Amino acid sequence: MSQIEKKEVKIRLEKLRDLIEYHRKNYHLKDISEISPEALDSLKKELSDLESAYPSLVTADSPTQRVAGGVKDELQKVVHKSRQWSLNDCFTEDEFISFDERVKRFLKLNLQKDIEYVAEHKIDGLKIILEYKKGIFFRGATRGDGVIGEDVTHNIRTIESVPLKLDRPINITVEGEVWMSKSVFKTLNIQREEEGLELFANPRNIAAGSLRQLDPNIAASRKLGVFIYDITEYKEMPKTQNEELKLLGNLGFKVNKDFKLCKNAKEVIEFWNKWQDKKEKQDYFFDGIVVKVNEKKLQDELGYTGKAPRYAIAFKFKAEQVTTIVENITLQVGRTGVVTPVAELRPVLVYGSKVSRATLHNEDEIRRLGLKIGDTVILQKAGDVIPEVVEVLIDLRTGQEKEFKMPKNCPVCDSILEKKSIGSKGEGSAAWYCINKNCEAKDRKKLYYFTSKKVFNIDGLGPKIIDALCDALLVKIPADFFNLKKDEILALPRFGELSVDNLLSSIERARNIELSRLIASLSIPQVGEETSYDLANTFGSIEKFLNADFDTLSGIFGVGVVIAREISEWKKDKYHMDSLHKLLKELKIINPKKNNAIVNSKVSGKTFVLTGTLDSMDRDEAKALIKKLGGSVASAVSKSTDYVVAGESAGSKYDKAQELGIKILTEEEFRTLTK
């Protein structure tokens, strides 16, 4: 091929790409079709043919590259550049007004003053983070646990409304939501029904499932949509949220047009009411609105509580309600042995999801509802919250309904069920527990939890595979996962060479585990991820945690006597400890760094006691702030207390501090100290 010929091909390729890109933008960003889909396909075909003939001229941003690179072996982990927060939520106008007031108090503004907010639809989809380098799409990741997500670049490329190339050659990281439209969802389920396949439960699950596929052709066939709403990293950050959305649109991202710059809280509430009524008309599911303080300077000042930003809130719509029949009440045994009654429902569609089961929490809840088997009930679901039975329609009874009686024995192992004593006076728990340590149901659930995302995060070890491994007697306790042999697994049905290798390498990777996740993995009753995180940071090593006595444990902020008792009971149990020691032999534990916290010399190493109410933050926020800066919080004033922070109507702790001559801080002084 001559140089001249190659140059001409190159020019033709560039023109074709530009033209296809022009029509893509028109169609996906502006809803305009200037040419027919057939004509556009023909252009794409010419481009694809030419590129096949001249592979050296293929560029990364070419429209043909949306489904390129073939099937992946596994999804790589991505460590996010900045932490992905989740939002606090509110459900009523009053709750939203309280949020508005909290914001003003924190900013020390007069409560009568207006604050500008931007309100956007809260799309019921899957969050993604996209990176562009010099204007070219570089990487797309899922949110994951907020710190580590999964690389799903190959699937995000297939989404036509995601630009492969921006209008400017900039480095930028943005965030958005991937979703499936109601109409595509419907068509897909009609197709599946015709093919005799199981129907998808709701669009959100398919969108999430499609993004995590290894083969990009599957995601491409699902016609996913995207809305981008935030810039994570960019050298010229806009000054307001409103300008940020406009900039995103100008750069070529698809931004949801239905956002509004509201002058004050009242306008936000109007927006919320308007869309509550109109939400059915949109072609996507959204379960509320996201409200952010418009000005970035104020956003920065407001900052984060340790869990969520203080400058934003998810303002959820009222829950959707439908009626259905409770056909049966069954029992489920959880990993801590708690036995939960579950309503088996006549399947019903609520909030876009097919629902056939709902938790009834405990025996008392069934009594409170007055529920009998066969009753017609009102079922309620709000967004991604689990559905619940809220009312029994007694007028529809026929007389055939049956009373539910809580059995005395575990439905799995037949052991006697017991109530636990909880609280300082030893009151009985509402829930019944299976107390058999060897109950198979408990062991299974613990294993499911052990491998789950929140804990050891072992890819490819879901409940079905764990069932198969347990039934083949290969696994009984968590340590067994780390001793699985390749040929043992290969002998099981459904496993091929490649899938076994993938599984074993995910297990290998899981040997390096953070202390907090290890503690959570033990399934100690009442000890969830948050408490485990506090315990890990307090003790710093598994040995210190195991050696801590009841008094030390109960003195830790966020633990208290109930949890301390559970931990002590758990540690006394030989079965638990044997199983843990076997596990420890397999692991390399990553202990929390000593000063994970930002060191603030005035706070670090100091002990605080809080009393009374603070204006600008609630008590949990104040505690989180102190901990973040390396200090600790005690519940009672003693000689070892460094500061007592006294809010409004401070109580006896204030007097005690005065008596002991301990420094008392006003809220103002506390805020200066923690700045």
The catalytic residue positions are: 122
| Beta carbon of residue 539, minimum distance to Zn ion (angstroms, whole number) | 31
Indicate the residue among 457 and 523 with the shorter CB distance to Zn ion: 523
Nearer of residues 122 and 442 to Zn ion, judged by Cβ: 442
- Shorter beta-carbon distance to Zn ion: residue 337 or 352: 337
In angstroms, the CA 554 to CA 656 distance is 21
Nearer residue to Zn ion within complex by CB, 439 or 626: 439
Compute the least distance from the CB of residue 395 to Zn ion, in Å: 38
Least distance in Å: CB of 525 to Zn ion?
15
Residue 290, strand partner residues? 120, 314
Nearest approach, Cβ of residue 579 and Zn ion (Å): 17
Tokens standing for residue 445: 């659930």
> Looking at beta carbons only, is 103 or 439 nearer to Zn ion?
439
**Stretch touching Zn ion by CB under 5 A, among 69-77, 217-225, 412-420, 620-628:** 412-420
Strands (E), 435-538: 512-514
CB 335 to Zn ion: min, Å: 11
**Region binding Zn ion by CB under 5 A among candidate stretches 191-199, 243-251, 288-296, 410-418:** 410-418
Cα–Cα distance between 335 and 528 in angstroms, integer?
Answer: 12
Nearer to Zn ion, 84 or 436 (CB): 436
Which residue lies nearer to Zn ion by CB, 25 or 335?
335
The C-alpha angle with vertex 555 and arms to 550 and 561, in degrees rounded to 5, equals: 60
DSSP conformational letter for 396: G
Nearest distance, CB of residue 470 and Zn ion, angstroms: 15
**In 3-state terms, the chain is what percent helix, strand and coil (to 5)?**
40, 25, 35
* Residue 226 vs 439, nearer CB to Zn ion: 439
Residue 409 CB, nearest approach to Zn ion (Å)? 8
Compute CA distances 76 → 148, 153, 244, 506, whole Å.
10, 10, 30, 11
Give the DSSP H/E element, type plus range, for residue 232.
Answer: strand 225-233
Residue 337 Cβ vs Zn ion, minimum distance, rounded to whole Å? 7
Q: Name which of 143, 158, 137 is nearest 225 in CA terms.
A: 158
* Separation of alpha carbons 290 and 317, rounded Å: 11
- Using CB under 5 A as the binding rule, the residues of this chain from 435 to 464 that contact Zn ion are 436, 439
**Binding of Zn ion by 587 (CB under 5 A):** no
**Closer CB to Zn ion, 331 or 510, in the complex:** 331
Identify which of residues 291 and 441 has a Cβ nearer to Zn ion in the complex. 441
What distance in Å separates the CA atoms of residue 237 and residue 231, rounded to the nearest whole number? Answer: 8
Q: Which amino acid is at 238?
A: P
Q: Of 8-16, 137-145, 405-413, 574-582, which segment contacts Zn ion by CB under 5 A?
A: 405-413
Strand arrangement of the beta sheet that strand 663-665 belongs to: 632-634, 607-611, 643-646, 663-665
Among 290, 338, 412, 520, binds Zn ion (CB under 5 A): 412
Sort strands 117-123 and 286-293 into parallel, antiparallel or unpaired: antiparallel
Query: Cα–Cα distance between 666 and 646 in angstroms, integer?
Result: 6
From residue 269, give the alpha-carbon distance in Å to each of 96, 167, 264, 280, 281: 8, 36, 9, 18, 19
Query: Distance (Å, rounded) from C-alpha 481 to C-alpha 458?
Result: 10
To Zn ion, the closest distance from the beta carbon of 568 in angstroms equals 23
C-alpha dihedral (343, 345, 347, 350), degrees to nearest 10: -60
| Sole window of 234-242, 314-322, 378-386, 428-436 interacting with Zn ion (rule: CB under 5 A) | 428-436
Q: What residues between 156 and 215 interact with Zn ion by CB under 5 A?
A: none
In the complex, the smallest distance separating the C-beta of residue 438 from Zn ion, rounded to whole angstroms, is 8
CB of 562 to Zn ion, least distance (A): 23
Q: Of the listed pieces 171-179, 371-379, 431-439, 572-580, which binds Zn ion according to CB under 5 A? A: 431-439
Classify residue 92 by its DSSP letter: S
Give which of 320, 282, 37, 321 is closest to 183, Cα–Cα. Answer: 282
| Among 218, 378, 413, 477, contact with Zn ion (rule: CB under 5 A) | 413
Task: State which amino acid sits at residue 452.
Answer: S
Number of residues that bind Zn ion (CB under 5 A): 6
> What's 648's DSSP letter?
B
Establish if 417 lies at the interface with Zn ion (CB under 5 A): no
Nearer to Zn ion, 135 or 334 (CB): 334
- Residue 259: how many other CB atoms lie within 10 Å: 21
- Say if residues 615 and 649 touch (Cβ distance below 8 Å): no
Among 434, 461, 475, 622, interactor with Zn ion by CB under 5 A: 434
| Strand blocks (E) in 364-492 | 376-381, 388-392, 417-422, 427-434
* Candidate segments 161-169, 247-255, 308-316, 434-442, binder of Zn ion by CB under 5 A: 434-442
Q: Which is nearer to Zn ion, 247 or 413 (CB)?
A: 413
Stretch that binds Zn ion, among 43-51, 80-88, 162-170, 432-440 (CB under 5 A): 432-440
Among 103, 118, 377, 410, binds Zn ion (CB under 5 A): 410
d(CA 258, CA 481): 49
Nearest-approach distance from CB 436 to Zn ion, in angstroms: 5
Where would I find the beta strands (DSSP E) of 281-387? 286-293, 312-316, 320-333, 338-350, 353-359, 376-381
Subset of residues 116 to 145 that bind Zn ion, contact rule: CB under 5 A: none
Instruction: Give the chain's end-to-end CA distance (angstroms, integer).
Output: 68
- Residue 437 has what DSSP assignment? T
Q: Which stretch binds Zn ion (CB under 5 A): 113-121, 433-441, 492-500, 660-668?
A: 433-441
The C-alpha atoms of residue 75 and residue 214 are separated, in whole angstroms, by 7
Kindly tell me the sign of the dihedral angle through the C-alpha atoms of 237, 239, 241, 242: negative
Order of strands across the sheet that contains 136-142: 136-142, 126-133, 172-179, 225-233
Strands (DSSP E) found in 334-466: 338-350, 353-359, 376-381, 388-392, 417-422, 427-434
| Interface region with Zn ion, contact rule CB under 5 A, candidates 220-228, 402-410, 549-557, 629-637 | 402-410
Residue ranges in contact with Zn ion by CB under 5 A? 410, 412-413, 434, 436, 439
